[in-house]
Structure 1
Amino acid sequence: MHESTPLITTIALALGFGLILGYLAERIKLPALVGYLLAGVVIGPHTPGVFADVKLAHELAEIGVMLLMFGVGLHFSLDDLRQVRKIALPGALLQMAAAATLGTALGIAWGWAFGGALVFGLSLSVASTVVLLRSLEARGVLDSMNGRIAVGWLIVQDLVMVFVLVLLPPLAGQLGGTAVSHDAGSPLWLELAKTLGKVALFIVLMLVAGRRFVPKLLWRVARTGSRELFTLSVIAAAVSIAYVASGLFSVSFALGAFFAGMVLGESDFSHRAAEESLPLREAFSVLFFVSVGMLFDPAILVEHPLQVLAVLALIVVINPLAAALIVIVFRYPLNTALLMQAGLAQIGEFSFILAGLGISLGLLPIEGQNLILAGALLSITANQMIFSLTGPALKWIRARSALARKLERSDDPLAELPMSTDEKFLSGQVVLVGYGRVGRRIAATLTDKGIPFVVAEQNRETVEALRARGFAAVSGNAADPAVLIQAHIARAGLVVIAVSDTFEVRRMLDTARTLNPGIEVVVRCANDEEATLLAQETAGRFFLGEAELAHNISAHILNRYGKSV
């Protein structure tokens, strides 16, 4: 390594090996994140040969953490969380409590102090938002109800971890670690109150003053027409707010950047800010994951294989199974449970951040950090395969388990139309599958024109709200024949599939055609390829968002110039 230029050398090694191993990981159908972690192992101090400067890598990783959390804040939506709060909030809390308890018990069984075992358990209880979002996007289910539930679940996990990062330093001394300096003789409750007070003051300032000032600043910069100035202003806002939050309010860089992203995420510039800052966020997130890999000692796989297997079992088997059982108990469909099971079968960025904090506070032993890193590497590597097995597993379970089919429907009152449902909803009606952004607009038009319809929707909260307003609605996955039977598809005049779940649309169409061979179908398609394939397989009308937008704009232009459409 060039000793005169350690910073350049570290960046060059990190990005270079990150590119090579990230590319190889993608080529063999693994997340690029696995390649970045392995790149850190290759250039780290635990591997013989040339290695990068670990201290500098940590400082670069701090920038990566800030930009990573800024990106999480940009995508954070209280509205999305509100839609799925009845399943995401209690589900995430119960699942995290179960995983943290088991992880803590493992740490204590291995002879660690309670504080270190607690940090270890909490690190194993939270999944990677980055890995989950990329998996959902790859399968085209990010905007589906299952996708929204999974994202809402992860948002709750992230918020819990944010508070853990805030509370851990003042509690470190009581947990057996290095006490954070404070006034002599000051009671613990007072220190916690001061910490929470500073955090609360920072949050209030961000939500009140930040919401007004930051968007106005971006608006003034945007008016210059300079793309580079706009990008600079977004990154400067993220890093500066994180720095000021740390200096004035004793808030972590991660929390400051998260709220900076959250403030921007609710402004009119959220999409552009996300788009313009993406390249730099991606580059520094690579540095973050590479720096994490540099901390990993591969010897842990040989020296403590049983401990690694225990950690992996907790991450990939026990934790996801607990989440799936919680989803089923809350009367959501089996496919939702399986998607949550696959999505939570890995750990990532928050686990690394918490482990690093635990090490710095003298709570978590180095062995614990290595076990967390080993669990992350192995679980992320296996996650794509786990996701690919959800479809076959769903078919197998439904075909062979009467109990599973019964549990999916059970005695849920929302799974059946009430006996008092008006006859107009039972014959000649429109069956509207999905009540998201598109479905709501279709429903508003049908209501305005007096056309009766029945909604089939997976979100139980949405079904409850619709019934409270007097609409006919059933809860469940429309790919399940029982759901469409309850929507009286056999006597319906039209079925409109307004969901964006690419993998379920074909099954919904097959089910509808089986129950009513002559029914007319209208389908919202995610892309041209899907529309073409569906049109070849079945008769119906298939609408693509971009095509309809172009058609409506063209019609407006022609009308403006007096031309016929």
Structure 2
Amino acid sequence: MLQDNVALWILLAFSLGLLVRPFGLPPLVGFLLAGFGLKALGLGPHPALTQLAHAGVLLLLFNVGLKLRIKSLFRTDVVGSAILHLLLFGAVIAALLAGPGELSLTETALIAFALSFSSTVVAAKVLEDKKELRAFHGRLAIGILIVQDLLAVAFLSAMGGHEPSPWALTLLGLPLVRPILLRLLEHCGHEELLVLFGLLIALVLGGMGFEHLGLSGELGALVMGALLAGHGRATELAESLWSLKEVFLVGFFLQIGLSSQPDWTALGIAAGLALLLPVKIALFFALLTRFRLRARSALLAGLSLGTYSEFGLIVGQLGVHQDLLSPEWLAILALAMALSFVLAAPLNRLAHPIYMHTEDRLRRLESTRRHPDDEPVHLGNSHLLIMGMGRVGTAA
């Protein structure tokens, strides 16, 4: 019975999500474990869960689209570090996987590509909890993540396996529809209609609409979100959909766990991949300092990006559906991602103490020139500094 399955999904996901929370881990680690637990109980993927998971992915990409700022993306430090890191870290993974000679070239490339991404969910949560989303290193990390997300969406679209319809050319006229969508957005109020408007744009027009034209629904969700980006209510729309997106993504992580049952071999390989996370962080640090960031900014950004990504699971899942990757590797990718979250939690909590203890050595690796947005603040000969905003600043 569907009702019994849903009750079990919710019960196990909530219980294990709650169980991992005191350890500073994101609940999605518990959701993955719940999926593995359901598989151990003899259950398999359910069509309803598949639809729920797909909706979660579409809303995630729609949310990414709403945050797109094209001008801020086309900066050398953002695009350069994102692409170079993907290529270099992917090459490291590919070289290690190619050694035993058990994987084909396609499998090796797909796994390396999937592991090159960093978790948008974890980085955003870490930076938000530390009130560093608007700090320079926080904005830079989010920019790198968006570039990675765009590359992932481009891959998903290219590998969709559909021949685009001739009617897909009509999508070139989407900018002409933007004023109508923005007018609708302004007239939706702040409650239920706003949520329904977001679902209509992301799932119906973006997901189903693009799929009917032979294009990727993931690409459609991102494009429709980007159409609304920059409007004054885009942030409010993203916030109104946040809870729904998180709930739907529970289905995605449950589905990943249900897709295959990991064994000790899979756990061993995943642990080996988790040991490569310091290489991932160090590579971000090296690249960002070459782009003239201070050691402090480079380290804090690198630590927030030192995870494997939920987008990597989406890429891996597509590889399994296209028979390019064995289901066992999907379980390995899920375990590697979960282990990366386990390691990222304490590292990011201790990010500032880590820098304080390694400052002298790290600063030797800085570029002689400084990024214009990362210059330290010089107070000159001042003896008194007044800081504050609003009522606090006025009172001072």
Partner of 2:150: 159
Residues 434-490 of structure 1: CA deviation (Å, up to 9, x unaligned): xxxxxxxxxxxxxxxxxxxxxxxxxx244xxxxxxxxxxxx5344xxxxx3xxxx34
1:105 counterpart = 2:95: yes
Rounded to whole Å, the distance in 1 between the matches of 2:228 and 2:162 is 34
| 1:340 maps to amino acid | A
Q: How does 1:37-56 map to 2 (within 5 A)?
A: 37-43=32-38, 45=39, 47-48=40-41, 51=43, 53-56=45-48
Change (3 A) 1:106 1:35: same
Deviations 1:40-85 (A, max 9, x none): 2222x2x136x36434322221111111211222222224435xx1
Q: What is the identity, as a one-letter code, of the residue corresponding to 1:312?
A: A
What code does the residue aligned with 1:361 have?
A: Q
2:191 equivalent to 1:227:
yes
Distance 1:181 1:28, change over 3 A: closer
CA distance in structure 1 between the aligned counterparts of 2:41 and 2:156, rounded to whole angstroms:
34
- CA shift in 2, pair 1:58/1:19, >3 Å: same
Which of residues 198, 205, 225 in structure 1 aligns to 2:173?
205
Cross-structure match for 1:522: 386
Alignment partner, residue 364 of structure 2: 406
- Contact map agreement 1:129 1:154 (CA 8 A) in 2: yes
| Number of the residue aligned with 1:177 | none
Amino acid at match of 2:89: A
Say if 1:154 and 1:201 are closer, same or farther in 2 by CA, change over 3 A. Answer: farther
Kept in 2: contact 1:264–1:273 (CA 8 A): no
Say which SS state the counterpart of residue 491 (structure 1) adopts. Answer: coil
Aligned structure 1 segments of 4 or more residues deviating by more than 4 angstroms: 197-201
The 2-side partners of 1:199 and 1:127 are apart by 31
Equivalent of 2:332 in 371, 379, 383: 371
Give the secondary structure class of the aligned counterpart of 1:21.
Answer: helix
> Is the Cα–Cα contact under 8 Å of residues 256 and 331 in structure 2 kept in the other structure?
no
Residue 218 in 1 paired to residue 211 in 2? no
CA contact (8 A) 1:237 1:260 kept: yes
Residue 16 (structure 2) pairs with residue 24 (structure 1): no
Residue identity opposite 1:160 in structure 2:
L
Hey, what does 2:280 align to over in structure 1?
319
Q: Which structure dedicates a bigger proportion of its chain to strand?
A: 1
- For 2:124, the equivalent position in structure 1 comes to 133
Letter paired with 2:324: L
- Which of 226, 249, 255 lines up with 1:285 in the alignment? 249
Question: Could you tell me how far apart the structure 1 residues matched to 2:352 and 2:83 are?
Answer: 27
The yes-or-no answer on 1:476 pairing with 2:375 is yes
User: Structure 2: how far apart are the matches of 1:149 and 1:181?
Assistant: 35
Please give the per-residue CA displacement for 1:219-258, whole angstroms capped at 9, x wherever unaligned. 3443xxx83223212211211121111111x222211111
- 1:262 matched to 2:236? The reply is no
1:237-252 alignment runs, 5 A limit: 237-241=201-205, 242-248=207-213, 250-252=214-216
Once residues 198 and 311 of structure 1 are traced to their aligned partners in structure 2, the CA distance between those partners, rounded to angstroms, is 44
In the alignment, is the contact (CA less than 8 A) between 1:10 and 1:52 conserved in 2? no
Give 1:357 deviation, angstroms. Answer: 0.7
**Within 2, Cα distance between the matches of 1:200 and 1:522?**
57
CA separation of 1:157 and 1:90: change in aligned 2, threshold 3 A: same
Query: Runs of 5+ in structure 2 lacking a partner?
Result: none
Give distance in 2, aligned partners of 1:200 and 1:381. 45
- In the alignment, residue 364 of structure 1 is paired with which amino acid? L
Q: What is the correspondence of 1:75-474 to structure 2 with a 5 Å cutoff?
A: 75-82=67-74, 85-110=75-100, 111-169=102-160, 180=161, 202=171, 204-206=172-174, 208-222=175-189, 227-241=191-205, 242-248=207-213, 250-299=214-263, 302-304=264-266, 306-314=268-276, 316-399=277-360, 401=361, 404-408=362-366, 410-412=367-369, 414=370, 460-462=371-373
**Match for residue 491 of structure 1 among 378, 381, 385:** 381
User: Displacement, 1:181?
Assistant: 7.2
**Contact 2:289-2:365 within 8 A present in 1 as well:** yes
Q: Deviations over 1:256-276 (max 9, x none)?
A: 111222222322321221232
Deviation at 1:280, TM superposition (A): 1.6
Q: Do the aligned partners of 1:80 and 1:148 also contact (CA within 8 Å) in 2?
A: no
Cα distance in 2 for residues equivalent to 1:520 and 1:147: 29
The SS at the match of 1:521 is coil
More helix by share: 2
Residues 294 and 363, structure 2, Cα contact 8 Å, conserved in 1: no
Structure 1 200/33 Cα, relative in aligned 2: closer, same or farther at 3 Å?
farther
Larger displacement relative to structure 2 (282-291 or 305-314): 305-314
Q: Distance in 1 between matches of 2:305 and 2:82?
A: 10
Task: List per-residue Cα deviations over 1:94-119 (Å, max 9, x = no partner).
Answer: 00001222223333334111111111
User: Which residue identity does 1:96 align to in structure 2?
Assistant: L
Partner Cα distance (2:93, 2:109) in 1:
7
Give the 3-state SS of the residue equivalent to 1:522 in structure 2. coil
Does the CA-based 8 Å contact 1:347-1:375 persist in structure 2? yes
- 1:69 corresponds, among 47, 61, 74, to 61
Distance 2:22 2:155 in 1: 37
Structure 2 length-normalised TM: 0.90
Say if 1:13 and 1:52, in contact at 8 Å, map to a contact too.
Answer: no
Q: 1:200 to 1:406 in 2, by over 3 A?
A: farther
Seen in structure 2, the aligned counterparts of structure 1 residues 267 and 139 have a Cα distance that, compared at 3 Å, is: same
CA contact (8 A) 2:107 2:324 kept: yes
Secondary structure of the 1:309 match is helix
| Contact 2:285/2:298 (8 A) holds in 1 | yes
SS of the residue aligned with 1:350? helix
Which structure has the bigger radius of gyration? Answer: 1
d(CA) in 1 for partners of 2:329, 2:340: 16
Deviation at 1:344, TM superposition (A): 2.0
Partner residue of 1:34 out of 29, 34, 41: 29
Whether contact under 8 Å (2:267, 2:332) holds in the other structure is: no
Give 2:381's aligned amino acid. R
The aligned amino acid for 1:476 is: E
Q: 2:385 is paired with a residue of what secondary structure?
A: strand
TM-score by length of 1: 0.65
Alpha-carbon distance, 1:305 to partner: 5.0
